[in-house]
């Protein structure tokens, strides 16, 4: 059982403007039609002159102000290096995702069955691109490996990290309002093609404030938790 989530601010403001525009159009259109009916056969040049201001007003009214698009990025504390003993090379392949998570709109789920896109709040890039770069940055700072690269190494022996973005959503559930991030990750040995590890990395963070900044802050923290899990897995198999 899911509670009804509050309407997003942009959607609420836009809906109010749309409803008022429609109301005004109906009222003015009714007045216009009534005037024409009374005019009857005298709807020549005089009728055109009278109707022009109303038509211009209706046209301007239909061109309502569209909410301004806003762009967001993740922000969290990077890990402390574990020391200078990192060894080996890790090649981070570009993360993949389904069609839902391959675009830059913020995603929110008002129920477990429904997916909605926020057309006026967007990430600076798609979750796949953003998380690929964030994971690379995170693992370089962690220094589990002597080198972490987005370019295929020339050496024969290195590890390959691949991941599929399965969740990067704002979610409303019976338990509350959350940011949820999930990756299915795999690590392979390039030399023999052996699968060294694979598994689901998932985390959630409660949204403390129902605002764009509050949602992005929770998404950032959930992402950091997932990358912490990834770092621990790589420490264990390096």
Angle between helices 127-142 and 212-237 (to 10 degrees): 50
pLDDT value for 54: 65
Which residues on neighbouring strands pair with residue 183, listed in sequence order? 165, 201
Fold of the 70-237 domain = Rossmann fold (3.40.50)
Identify the band that residue 25 occupies on the pLDDT scale cut at 50, 70 and 90.
very low
Gap between the Cα atoms of 24 and 73, Å rounded: 39
pLDDT value for 2: 39
144 pLDDT above the threshold of 50: yes
* 26 Cβ neighbours under 8 A, 6+ residues apart: none
> Domain ranges in the chain?
9-62, 70-237
The tens digit of pLDDT for each residue in 147-174 reads 999 999 988 899 999 999 999 999 998 8
Q: Is residue 68 packed enough to be buried (19+ CB in 10 Å), middle (13-18) or exposed (0-12)?
A: exposed
Which residues on neighbouring strands pair with residue 199, listed in sequence order? 185
User: Chain-wide mean pLDDT for the chain?
Assistant: 82
20 pLDDT above the threshold of 80: no
CA distance readout (Å), 147 to 13, 67, 143, 153, 197: 49, 44, 8, 10, 19
pTM of the model: 0.75
Please provide the distance, in angstroms rounded to a whole number, between the alpha carbons at the two ends of the chain. 43
The tens digit of pLDDT for each residue in 73-98 reads 999 998 877 655 678 999 999 999 99
CA distance readout (Å), 50 to 42, 161, 212, 237: 12, 71, 47, 81
pLDDT value for 27: 44
pLDDT value for 37: 47
């Amino acid at each position: 059982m899911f509670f009804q989530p509050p309407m997003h601010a942009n959607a609420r403001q836009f809906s109010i403007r749309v409803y008022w525009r429609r109301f005004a159009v109906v009222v003015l259109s009714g007045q216009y039609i009534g005037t024409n009916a009374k005019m009857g056969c005298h709807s020549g040049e005089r009728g055109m002159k009278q109707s022009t201001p109303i038509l211009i007003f209706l046209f301007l009214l239909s061109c309502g102000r569209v909410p301004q698009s806003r762009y967001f990025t993740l922000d969290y504390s990077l890990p402390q290096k574990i020391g200078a003993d990192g060894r080996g090379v890790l090649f981070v392949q570009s993360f993949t995702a389904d069609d839902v998570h391959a675009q830059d709109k913020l995603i929110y789920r008002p129920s477990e069955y429904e997916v909605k896109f926020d057309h006026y709040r967007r990430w600076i890039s798609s979750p796949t691109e953003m998380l690929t770069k964030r994971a690379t940055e995170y693992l370089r700072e962690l220094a589990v490996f002597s080198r972490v690269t987005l370019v295929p190494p020339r050496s024969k022996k290195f590890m390959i990290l691949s991941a599929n973005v399965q969740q990067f959503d704002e979610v409303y559930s019976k338990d509350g309002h959350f940011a949820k991030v999930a990756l299915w990750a795999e690590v392979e040995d390039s030399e023999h093609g052996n699968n060294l590890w694979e598994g689901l990395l998932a985390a959630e963070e409660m949204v403390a404030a129902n605002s764009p900044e509050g949602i992005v802050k929770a998404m950032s923290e959930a992402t950091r938790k997932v990358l912490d899990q990834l770092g621990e897995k790589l420490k264990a198999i390096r």
